[in-house]
Amino acid sequence: MATALKFAQPEERVSNFVSRTHKMLINGKWVEALSGKTFPTYNPATGEVLARVAEGDKADIDLAVKAARAAFETGPWSKLTASERGRLIWKIADLIEENLEEFAELETLDNGKPLKVARAADVPLAVDLFRYMAGWTTKIEGNTIPLSVPYTPGAKYLAYTLREPVGVVGQIIPWNFPLLMAAWKLGPALATGCTVVLKPAEQTPLSCLRLGELIQQAGIPDGVVNIVPGYGETAGAALAAHPGVDKIAFTGSTEVGKIILQAAAGNLKKVSLELGGKSPNVVLGDVDLDAAIAGSASAIFFNHGQCCCAGSRLYVENGIFDKVVEGVAARAEKIKVGSGMEASTDMGPLVSEEQLNRVCSYLESGLSEGAKAVTGGARQGDKGYFVKPTVLVNTNEKMKVVREEIFGPVVTVIPFKDTEDLVTQANNSVYGLAAGIWTRDIQKAHRLATQLRAGTVWINCYNIFDAALPFGGYKQSGWGREMGHDALEMYTEVKAVCAAL
């Protein structure tokens, strides 16, 4: 398992993998794009090109969907027992675990996150997710249902439901947790017996491609998992619109979520969406201040704020406002920003130049409208995509920095008077992904948990994820849930069978 190694350079096998020209996985074969095109993926700590990757578009998506269809309808996959399917999924987990260090380094190189974070969170969570879903294969059950059909008096029936795989699934994932997002998507699809065409984010395709190799090594039959890297507007759009796809699962921006929904309308494919957030994190006056300050800083700064559930609106009860602002700012200043490959780094660069510009333009907009940066407020350095951990005060609810998802290490701290005022402010958002509550008053905490419109509520903790805990959004944060057994529902159809006895 992981030792406390200090890597400034990746391991040799990792650099060997990275430096390849990467192909796409279609029907069990690694192939180039039909167009012959490739695209670059960058190291966000330096801005340099890391590798070139086959650039899939509509034609490649077509091939991948055909392969997935054949594997679903005729291939060995649909003939496996549930237990055999479970064993193969478990094997994927074992293989990821055996290659934990390699995956952690790939995530750091391609995404920028600190190696220690990828090692402790991204990779082990992906392993757990596959194991959790492997266990479900043998437990996907229907019901027997008593009938009382009014127009067939005296007749007897045996009625039951079957839960069957929805079919060919298209999955489009983002770059903030590249391997983990692939796991969240692939796990339930494979557990339910679906076949998949997966499109990784163009910013971070590498760990997903390595995962493709391990999926083959595990013995998942050809065509069951196809991986087509490429851009959203081409490969992603083709997948979302494809008439041969039965369901599309998407994680990313709310803006693109709406585009996916329209694209899916053509054949009314099922849709699940895990979208943006602007999650309120609430600190009540009675709180254990040290715990709340540490937790609130990590709620926003974890993964550089590039979390859909980041605690980006920090609401603090009037009496302790200044103390919490001071405490969170002090923590922000202690965060060591640098290359994720350095053992001492707490926060790496943002994933791309585009995200750097986006986050900086939010900072400029907030500051020009009168917000004050207690700390941070700007880019750090001029090489790589680093942003200083930032604490904003003097905001108001009309500002973009309060209303819109920034997806960077920027928290707005906002005072509130009482819980009624708090609930109104906290729920005043188009989003409803997550919320945090910090208090010693358990009654108040659980009451607030019912009042906040969010798919996840953390009490005296934040960013706690578990393969068994469903995750997803209210309002414009999405449709459906990932993880937990709720995720299986999005990958199954219910068939009612009724037999006259």
Here's the x/- map for ligand NAI, 246-265, by CB under 6 A: it reads as -----xxx--x--xx-----
Here's the x/- map for ligand NAI, 158-187, by CB under 6 A: it reads as --------------xxx-x-----------
Taking the complex as a whole, the smallest distance from the CB of residue 341 to ligand NAI amounts, in Å, to 23
Asked if residue 362 binds ligand NAI (CB under 6 A), the reply is no
For residue 422, give Cα distances in angstroms to 159, 316, 416: 49, 9, 6
For residue 382, give Cα distances in angstroms to 361, 404, 415: 16, 26, 34
Q: Please report, as a single letter, which amino acid is at residue 107.
A: E
Taking the complex as a whole, the smallest distance from the CB of residue 264 to ligand NAI amounts, in Å, to 10
**Dist CA 54 CA 389 (whole Å):** 35
Taking the complex as a whole, the smallest distance from the CB of residue 415 to ligand NAI amounts, in Å, to 26
Asked if residue 223 binds ligand NAI (CB under 6 A), the reply is no
Contact call for residues 487 and 188 (beta carbons, < 8 A): yes
Q: Please report, as a single letter, which amino acid is at residue 187.
A: G
Query: Closest CB to ligand NAI among 301 and 407?
Result: 407
**Dist CA 345 CA 27 (whole Å):** 40
Two tokens, residue 95:
């293989």
Q: In the chain, what is the straight-line distance between the N-terminal and C-terminal CA atoms, in Å? A: 58
Catalytic residue among 274, 405, 482, 489: 274
Taking the complex as a whole, the smallest distance from the CB of residue 235 to ligand NAI amounts, in Å, to 7
308 included as an active-site residue:
yes
Asked if residue 236 binds ligand NAI (CB under 6 A), the reply is yes
Taking the complex as a whole, the smallest distance from the CB of residue 145 to ligand NAI amounts, in Å, to 37
Two tokens, residue 337:
């920003």
Name residues whose C-beta falls within 8 Å of residue 178's C-beta, 6 or more positions apart in sequence.
107, 110, 111, 122, 200, 201, 204, 205, 206, 207, 208
- The residue assigned the tokens 């990757």 is 53
- How distant is the alpha carbon of residue 337 from its chain centre? 23
- Identified binder of ligand NAI from the candidate list 201, 245, 310, 335, rule CB under 6 A: 201
Count other Cβ atoms within 10 Å, centred on residue 292: 28
Contact call for residues 429 and 278 (beta carbons, < 8 A): yes
Query: Closest CB to ligand NAI among 256 and 448?
Result: 256
Taking the complex as a whole, the smallest distance from the CB of residue 249 to ligand NAI amounts, in Å, to 11
Query: Closest CB to ligand NAI among 338 and 473?
Result: 473
Query: Closest CB to ligand NAI among 126 and 260?
Result: 260
Contact call for residues 44 and 107 (beta carbons, < 8 A): no
Asked if residue 405 binds ligand NAI (CB under 6 A), the reply is yes
**Dist CA 203 CA 179 (whole Å):** 13
Query: Closest CB to ligand NAI among 81 and 262?
Result: 262
Using the contact rule CB under 6 A, the part of the chain among 26-34, 268-276, 395-403, 487-495 near ligand NAI is: 268-276
305-324 binders of ligand NAI (CB under 6 A): 308
Q: Is 124 helix (H, G, I), strand (E, B) or coil?
A: helix
Catalytic residue among 308, 317, 342, 489: 308
- Identified binder of ligand NAI from the candidate list 18, 240, 337, 387, rule CB under 6 A: 240
Nearest residue (beta carbon) to ligand NAI: 232
107 included as an active-site residue:
no
Residues of this chain that interact with ligand NAI (CB under 6 A) are 172-174, 176, 199, 201-202, 231-233, 236-237, 240, 251-253, 256, 259-260, 274-276, 308, 355, 358, 405, 407
* Catalytic residue set: 274, 308
